[in-house]
Structure 1
Amino acid sequence: MRPAPLICSLLAGVFSFSVNAAIELTDPYARATPPRAPNSAAFMVIKNTGSETVSLIRAETPAARTVELHNHVMDGGMMKMRQVDSIEVPSHDKATLEPGGFHIMLFDLSTPLKDGERLPLTLHFSNGTEVTQFIPITKAMVESKMKHGHDSH
């Protein structure tokens, strides 16, 4: 019995991707939105286990009409959000996308992002790598990842 062509091509894609994969996503999430909020953001740590620096150059999701890469910068004593062309991920290092720093903005959402659901998100990198994951949507900021410790002097 011969395997179905679709299954073969899906398996071939998985294996060819895993051989060339140098990008790993950790702790990805998108913020849940109130009922009529048009925008949200996605955050994660992007690890580059490869020997060459790559850049995140584009992201997309069917849930938003426009998806942009952004950073927060100080401008005239005020923190402002600015679109960036790319986010560099150095070789054998990581880029952290987090509130107040680099992040992925999701504009003009087709439906609200609901806590507990998952958002399909595809990341495109300068070396041709594409990573698609269904990332969790959460109401609260991921505070467990933040350091809340105090010095004990």
Structure 2
Amino acid sequence: MTSLRALSAAFLALAVSISPAVGHDFQTGSITIDHPWSRATPPIAPVAGGYLTLTNNGGMADRLVSISSPLSERAEIHESTVSNGVASMRPVQNGVEIEVGETVELQPGGMHIMFMKPSRPLKEGERFAAKLTFEQAGTVEVEFVVQGMGAGPATTSEHDGHGEPEQ
């Protein structure tokens, strides 16, 4: 009976210690920022991309108006489009609106963040800080997790470890 209690206590301690590692979400006001991530970059890349999902759980629309990071000289929100078979990318004017109850994905091939003139190459497995500023919800610090060069959006199981501080 004592060993069963000890085993149960050990299992509970393990479960509690693992649970924060599952998510990589941030919150400010009514906005949830899910899994900010980037791709590893070559040694002399002039830009790095940033991707995340924004969800507005509040009662009024909000807008992501700016992004900054100590990683780069500046950060911009860009949109990729294809018109008549020609791909182009341009900065988004006036930020990104997130309507009530809406989820907006910033992802490769669509709207995304461009970190201009990064101070160093990004390596898979590392993290870097950024600040997102919203009209209503204010400013929040987030952490981008760097995935492999050809990475796409992560699945839930790939989020493991992203919420844990670096050891």
Fold-level match, TM-score > 0.5? yes
> How well do the aligned residues superpose, as a CA RMSD in angstroms?
1.7
Kindly name which structure, 1 or 2, has the bigger radius of gyration based on alpha carbons: 2
Is the aligned partner of 1:105 residue 2:114?
A: yes
Query: What code does the residue aligned with 2:131 have?
Result: T
Among candidates 114, 120, 125, match of residue 116 of structure 1: 125
- Structure 1 segments (4+ residues) deviating >3 Å: none
Query: What's the counterpart of residue 48 of structure 2?
Result: 40
**1:24-67, CA deviations, whole angstroms, 9 ceiling, x for partnerless residues?**
11121011111111211100101111111111111010101121
Paired positions, count: 127
Give the alignment's TM-score, normalised by structure 2.
0.70
The CA distance in 2 between the partners of 1:56 and 1:91, in whole Å, is 13
Per-residue deviation, 1:144: 4.8
Per-residue deviation, 1:75: 3.4
Contact 2:39/2:147 (8 A) holds in 1: yes
Contact 2:76/2:91 (8 A) holds in 1: yes
Query: What's the counterpart of residue 72 of structure 2?
Result: 64
Question: What stretches of structure 1 of length at least 5 have no aligned partner?
Answer: 1-17, 146-153
Contact 1:123/1:132 (8 A) holds in 2: yes
Contact 2:62/2:137 (8 A) holds in 1: no
Query: What's the counterpart of residue 151 of structure 2?
Result: 141
Question: What stretches of structure 2 of length at least 5 have no aligned partner?
Answer: 1-26, 156-167
Give the alignment's TM-score, normalised by structure 1.
0.77
Per-residue deviation, 1:119: 1.2
Query: What's the counterpart of residue 15 of structure 2?
Result: none
- For CA contacts below 8 A with separation 6 or more, give which structure has more relative contact order: 2
Q: Which moved more, 1:124-133 or 1:60-69?
A: 124-133
Is the aligned partner of 1:25 residue 2:62?
A: no
After superposition, the Cα gap between the structure-2 partners of 1:44 and 1:76, relative to the gap in structure 1 and judged at 3 Å, is same
Identical-pair percentage: 29
